[in-house]
Amino acid sequence: MAETANNPAPARAPEVVTTVTIPEEKGAKLEALPAPAPKAKNIPEEKAIIMTTEKAAPALSINALRAKSLSGILAMISFIVSLPILASVIWLLYMRDYDCENLLRLPRLQTGIGIALLFMFIISTAALFLRPKFPMPGFLLAVVPLLVMLTVGLALLGAYDMESRKILASPRWFKLKVDNPNNWNNIKSCIYDTKICDDLFLKSLTVKSYDFTMKKLSPIESGCCTPPAVCGMKFVNATSWIKGDNGAVNNTVPLDSDCDDENKLLDSDCDTWTNDRNVLCYDCQACKDGFVRTLESKWRKLGLFLVLMSLFLFVSHLFLFLATMWELVVVKENI
C-alpha cells in the first residue's frame, strides 16, 4: 500500500514541469521573433522622413513669412491711407456752403463728390480683401477709380486749358459763369443780401485810415465793398471814399506793364465806384474776381486733396500688388 501510494507522486511531478516550462519557452520564442523585425525596419524610415521635413521647413517658412508679413504691412498702410477719404466725405457732406454758391449749383457737385469718395473708400477696402485670391482683379478694381479721382482733382486745380471750361468748379468755369451778365446779376444781388458790406461799414466807423489799410479783408470785402487801391481815394469809412481832384487813377502807384488788360479793368473800376451803398463796386471786375477767388480757394483745396490721395493710394496698391505676386511665386516654388 505504501509503494503504490508513493509511485504516482513522482510520475505526476515531471508532467507538471513539462507542461509549464515548454509553453513558456515556445511563447517566448514566438513573441521574440516577430517583434524585432518590424521595429528594425520601420524606425529608420520614420526618422529619415522627420529629418528631411525638419530641414526643408525652415527654408519654406522664412520666405513665406517674409512675403506674408510684407503684404500684411502694405495692406494695413493702404487701409490707413484711405481713412482720410472717409473723413473728407464727412467734411463735404456737412460743410456749410459759401455765400451765393448755390446759384452755381455747386452744393450738388459737392454732395456728388462726397458720395463718390464714399464709394471710393468702399472699393479700396474691398480690393484689400480680394487681394489674396484675386490679385489682378483687386488691383484693377482699385486703380480705375483712382485714375478718375486723379483726373477730377487735376481739373479742379486748373491743370487743363480748353477742356476745363466744361468741367464744373474749375477756374475757367468760374470765370465763364461770372462773366455771364445774367449769372452775375443774381450773384450781385445775393452778395448784397448777405450784408457783407454793411457789416464792414459798422466795423470801420471807429477805425482810422492807417488801421483800415492794415486790416486783412476777404476777397469779396476788398473787391465789392471798397475801391481798388490804385484809385488813390481818401478813406472816410469802409464804404465811403473821396476821389482825387481829377477823379482819375493815382498815377503815383506803379503799374505792371505786362498786365495792361488788368490795369484797364482797374481803371474802369475806379470810374464804376460810387459811395452809394446799393451800388458801391458790385459791378466792378474786382468784385467778380473776389467772388471767384473765394470759391476757388475752397475747390482748389479739394482738388489738391483728390490729387494727393489718388497718388498715395495708387502707390500703396501698386506695391501691395507686387508683394502679393511675390508671395504667390514663393509659395509655388516651395510646393
What confidence score (pLDDT) does residue 250 get? 44
**165 and 305 part of one domain:** yes
Q: Which residue has the cell 509549464?
A: 20
Mean pLDDT for each consecutive 10-residue tract of the chain (335 residues)? 45 44 43 46 47 47 76 89 89 76 85 91 89 86 92 86 72 89 92 91 85 87 90 87 61 44 67 90 92 89 93 92 85 70
Residues 146 and 138 sit within 8 Å (Cβ to Cβ): no
**116 and 196 part of one domain:** no
What pTM does this model have?
Answer: 0.70
pLDDT in tens, 16-45: 444 444 444 444 444 444 444 444 444 455
**179 and 327 part of one domain:** no
What confidence score (pLDDT) does residue 310 get? 94
Side chain identity at residue 57, one-letter code:
A
Side chain identity at residue 72, one-letter code:
G
Q: Is 83 exposed, middle or buried (0-12, 13-18, 19+ CB in 10 A)?
A: exposed
What confidence score (pLDDT) does residue 23 get? 46
**280 and 194 part of one domain:** yes
Residues 225 and 235 sit within 8 Å (Cβ to Cβ): no
Angstrom distance (rounded) from CA 318 to CA 147: 13
Give me the number of domains the chain comprises.
2
Range of the structural domain that residue 233 is part of? 173-244+267-292
What confidence score (pLDDT) does residue 67 get? 77
**150 and 226 part of one domain:** no
Angstrom distance (rounded) from CA 178 to CA 285: 10
Q: Cβ–Cβ contacts within 10 Å for residue 323, how many?
A: 22
CB within 8 A of 311, min separation 6: which ones?
150
What confidence score (pLDDT) does residue 3 get? 43
In a domain, residue 24? The reply is: no
What confidence score (pLDDT) does residue 135 get? 86
In a domain, residue 72? The reply is: yes
pLDDT in tens, 128-156: 888 888 888 889 999 999 999 999 899 88
**122 and 199 part of one domain:** no
What confidence score (pLDDT) does residue 223 get? 92
What confidence score (pLDDT) does residue 329 get? 80
**119 and 188 part of one domain:** no
What average pLDDT does the chain have?
A: 77
Residues 216 and 222 sit within 8 Å (Cβ to Cβ): no
**73 and 158 part of one domain:** yes
**203 and 276 part of one domain:** yes
**101 and 158 part of one domain:** yes
**190 and 224 part of one domain:** yes
**138 and 201 part of one domain:** no
In a domain, residue 255? The reply is: no
In a domain, residue 47? The reply is: no
User: What is the SS3 assignment for the chain?
Assistant: CHHHHHCHHHHHHHHHHHHHHHHHHHHHHHHHCCCHHHHHHHHHHHHHHHHHHHHHHHHHHHHHHHHHHHHHHHHHHHHHHHHHHHHHHHHHHHCCCCCCHHHHCHHHHHHHHHHHHHHHHHHHHHHHHHCCCCHHHHHHHHHHHHHHHHHHHHHHCCCCCCHHHHCCCCHHHHHHHHHCHHHHHHHHHHHHHCCHHHHHHHHCCCCCHHHHHHCCCCHHHHHHHCCCHHHCCEEEECCEEECCCCCCCCCCCCCCHHHHHHHHHHHHHHHHCCCCCCCCCCCCHHHHHHHHHHHHHHHHHHHHHHHHHHHHHHHHHHHHHHHHHHHHHHHHHCC
